[in-house]
């Protein structure tokens, strides 16, 4: 991992759009093997990252660029990974294209490939998934798990780069079914972690377990109709295994609530509700937790407007 200020490169094997916990977790791993650029939200954030941020037990000087101040001719990147909030997808994809990549890969939550394709046009793009975990607080980033990253066909070179950096990755032809399995885990774990302010592993025990099981039970027929390759028992086992493997992790939605940021509830649970309407399947518990998390979002937005803070 770099311990001196980074040296800009004319072309990077890989760049990451998004300087959150997961983006920095990936970038630190990749930087130990070769140059990697990180596109941060603004110039102030990029400057802080270049000065150094703790990732795990080491200080990482990020080769960071600012999305709002990209030069007229920014460095190029062979491949770009998008790791931003769903609401920023189109802006991130437009920034990624300015790096003149061979392809753009999303590892975001939700089902966002269609939104990416509208922006990317003729440039190959796709959405994979990752079970890697990390969380961030004022002291820096704490990686929890390298997990596994699954990529769509055409991104074999990215899988090789990630795997060499100690981030297990592989291409799978059945990426659509894998994305549905990831969505299943997300719609069960993320909202409950945010509402109850608990880490993922705690959801496996009472009183939270009943909520977890109910969310899986409702989501399964919807996602099965979309192509989920799991029977109902396997669906429950899958979500429990994810919660167990990421037991120490703070889910991304919990991190958003604690930091006073707007959550991705409409990109995660909202995506399920759209599919449920398509298949005329009732999902009342999911609708309820969506409203609960929206209340948290609205409370923090109101708190910021009145100057009362908003960090959870």
Residue 307 pLDDT grade (very low, low, confident, very high; cuts 50, 70, 90): low
- The angle subtended at Cα 175 by Cα 169 and Cα 177, nearest 5°, is 130
Percentage of the chain with pLDDT > 70?
94
Q: Give the pLDDT of residue 69.
A: 86
Digit-coded pLDDT (tens) for 162-209: 999 999 999 999 999 999 999 999 999 999 999 999 999 999 999 999
**187 vs 226: CA distance, rounded Å:** 15
Element (H, E) at 16: strand 11-17
In terms of CATH, what superfamily is 11-171?
A: NAD(P)-binding Rossmann-like Domain (3.40.50.720)
DSSP notation for 228-286: ----HHHHHHHHHHHHHHTTT---HHHHHHHHT----HHHHHHHHHHHHHHTT---HHH
Contact 285, 279 (CB under 8 A): no
**Residue the block writes with tokens 């295994």:** 241
Helix (H, G, I), strand (E, B) or coil at 74: coil
Predicted confidence at residue 304, as pLDDT, reads 66
Q: Which CATH architecture has domain 175-305?
A: Orthogonal Bundle (1.10)
Is residue 175 classed as helix, strand or coil in its secondary structure? helix
Q: 10 Å Cβ neighbour count for 3?
A: 9
Please report the pLDDT score of residue 71 as a whole number.
Answer: 86
Exposure string over 43-78, b if 16+ CB within 10 A, otherwise e: eebbeebbebbbbbeeebbbbbbbbeeeeeebbbbb
CB burial of 240-272 (b: ≥16 within 10 Å; e: otherwise) equals: bebbebbbebbbbbbbbbbebbbbbbbbbbbbb
- Domain spans, the chain: 11-171, 175-305
Looking only at the bridges linking them, the beta strands covering 53-55 and 58-60 are antiparallel
Instruction: Enter the pTM of the model.
Output: 0.88
Task: Tell me the pLDDT tens digit for each residue of 69-127.
Answer: 888 889 999 999 999 999 999 999 999 999 999 999 999 999 999 999 999 999 999 99
- Cα-Cα end-to-end distance for the chain: 32
Cα dihedral value 293, 298, 299, 302, nearest 10: 170
Contact 151, 172 (CB under 8 A): yes
In the predicted structure, residue 227 carries a pLDDT above the cut 60: yes
Tokens of 133: 């975990």
């Amino acid at each position: 991992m770099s311990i001196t200020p980074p040296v800009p490169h004319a072309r990077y094997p890989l760049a990451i759009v998004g300087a959150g916990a997961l983006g920095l977790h990936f970038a630190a791993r990749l930087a130990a093997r070769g140059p990697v650029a990180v596109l941060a939200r603004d110039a102030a954030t990029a400057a802080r990252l270049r000065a150094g941020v703790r990732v795990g037990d080491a200080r990482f000087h990020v080769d960071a660029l600012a999305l709002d101040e990209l030069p007229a001719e920014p460095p190029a990147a062979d491949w770009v990974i998008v790791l931003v909030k769903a609401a920023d997808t189109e802006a991130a994809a437009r920034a990624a294209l300015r790096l003149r990549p061979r392809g753009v890969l999303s590892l975001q939550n939700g089902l966002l490939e269609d939104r990416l394709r509208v922006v990317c046009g003729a440039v190959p793009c796709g959405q994979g998934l990752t079970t890697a975990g990390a969380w961030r607080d004022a002291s820096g980033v704490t990686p929890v798990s390298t997990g596994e990253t699954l990529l769509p066909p055409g991104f074999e070179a990215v899988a090789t780069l990630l795997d060499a950096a100690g981030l297990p990755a592989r291409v799978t032809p059945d990426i659509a079914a894998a994305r549905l399995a990831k969505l299943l885990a997300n719609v069960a774990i993320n909202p409950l972690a945010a509402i109850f302010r608990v880490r993922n592993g705690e959801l496996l025990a009472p009183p939270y377990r009943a909520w977890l099981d109910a969310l899986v039970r409702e989501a399964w027929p919807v996602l099965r109709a979309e192509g989920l390759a799991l029977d109902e028992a396997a669906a429950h086992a899958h979500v429990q295994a994810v919660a167990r493997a990421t037991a120490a992790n703070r889910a991304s939605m919990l991190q958003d609530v604690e930091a006073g940021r707007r959550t991705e509830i409409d990109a995660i649970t909202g995506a399920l509700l759209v599919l449920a309407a398509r298949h005329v399947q009732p999902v009342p518990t999911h609708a309820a937790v969506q409203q609960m998390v929206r209340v948290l979002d609205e409370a923090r937005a109101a708190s910021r407007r009145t100057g009362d803070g908003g960090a959870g």
